[in-house]
Amino acid sequence: MGRDRFGWPVRRPGWEYRGVEIEEGGYRDLGWAKIDTGRPARTGTAEAVYAAGKTPEQVVGALAALREAHPGRVAVATRCDDACVAAVRGAFGDEVLVEAGVCAVGAFPEAESGLLAVVCAGTSDLPVAREAEIVARANGIDTRLIADVGVAGLHRLLDKIGELREAACVIVVAGMDGALPSVVAGLVAAPVVAVPTSVGYGAAFGGLAPLLTMLNSCSPGVTVVNIDNGFGAAVAASRILGVKADRS
């Protein structure tokens, strides 16, 4: 097979892709959006709808496309406001679970992975931890939430060492000083995914402080996601725990 002058094989992407097959196999074109229907096969988890900045109609439309493309999966929208939640509930009724701004549509699968512990430092970090928990469960992960074990009262955390060591992956959610992941990662052998939150004020700078703390963890092996990104931490855990990609 030859090359054209661009250095691409003659049957290069862009040619075949312009056929009708592409709508069937690669993505679904809604005009204002291109739902990436091949994502579960490629990456193990489906697209989710980032509801911020979308109309309720757009969120419902994208969720419907996801439900149709992957009937065996839970379709998820994050960062939904009240109007969006109402619209999703209106469209999908009893199928919808709402928690911490997440709308999850469809029956949750049986847990099919090792245990994921979602740990948070303070009660104000709970919404982010819950986002991670729901998304992880929607992806088929066995998840346990451990709340309010910040380092200011270390015995609360030490009390949970046993539970933490049972987990195959640990997500640690913390705002303010963001010190908890460093302590946890020194106590367990599992992968630790740290989520800084925007909890705090002043020199917390909207989560910059715990973000930097976590990036500079003195416990090696801590990895970090964006501020308040419980969703991303759950997807990272799904990759780590190897959830089934072929659930259609």
Sign of CA dihedral 93, 94, 95, 99: positive
Contact 171, 233 (CB under 8 A): yes
Query: What residues between 162 and 221 interact with its own copies by CB under 8 A?
Result: 162, 176-179, 182-183, 185-193, 196, 198-221
Does residue 133 interact with its own copies by CB under 8 A? no
How many distinct helices (H) and strands (E) make up the chain?
10, 11
Does residue 84 interact with its own copies by CB under 8 A? no
Q: Taking the mean position of all CA atoms in its chain, how far away is CA 232?
A: 4
Does residue 232 interact with its own copies by CB under 8 A? yes
| Among positions 93, 94, 110, 155, the unique one binding its own copies when judged by CB under 8 A | 155
Angle at the Cα of 89 from the Cα atoms of 87 and 94, rounded to 5 degrees = 165
Nearer to its own copies, 93 or 220 (CB): 220
Query: What residues between 89 and 108 interact with its own copies by CB under 8 A?
Result: none
Does residue 72 interact with its own copies by CB under 8 A? no
Nearer to its own copies, 93 or 101 (CB): 101
Please report how close the Cβ of residue 94 comes to its own copies at its closest, in angstroms.
26
Nearer to its own copies, 106 or 228 (CB): 228
Sign of CA dihedral 94, 100, 102, 104: negative
Does residue 222 interact with its own copies by CB under 8 A? yes
Does residue 83 interact with its own copies by CB under 8 A? no
Please report how close the Cβ of residue 93 comes to its own copies at its closest, in angstroms.
25
Binding mask 21-60 for its own copies (x = CB under 8 A): xx-xxxx---xxxx-xxxx-xxxxx-xx-x-xxx---x--
Say which amino acid occupies 5.
R
Please report how close the Cβ of residue 152 comes to its own copies at its closest, in angstroms.
4
Distance in angstroms (rounded) separating the CA atoms of residues 54 and 196: 25
| Among positions 7, 93, 94, 110, the unique one binding its own copies when judged by CB under 8 A | 7
Distance in angstroms (rounded) separating the CA atoms of residues 150 and 160: 12
Does residue 70 interact with its own copies by CB under 8 A? no
Please report how close the Cβ of residue 50 comes to its own copies at its closest, in angstroms.
7
Output the 3-class SS for 105-159: ECCCCCCCCCEEEEEECCHHHHHHHHHHHHHHHHCCCEEEEECCCCHHHHHHHHC
Distance in angstroms (rounded) separating the CA atoms of residues 136 and 38: 20
Nearer to its own copies, 106 or 191 (CB): 191
Q: Copy the structure tokens of residue 142.
A: 């066995």
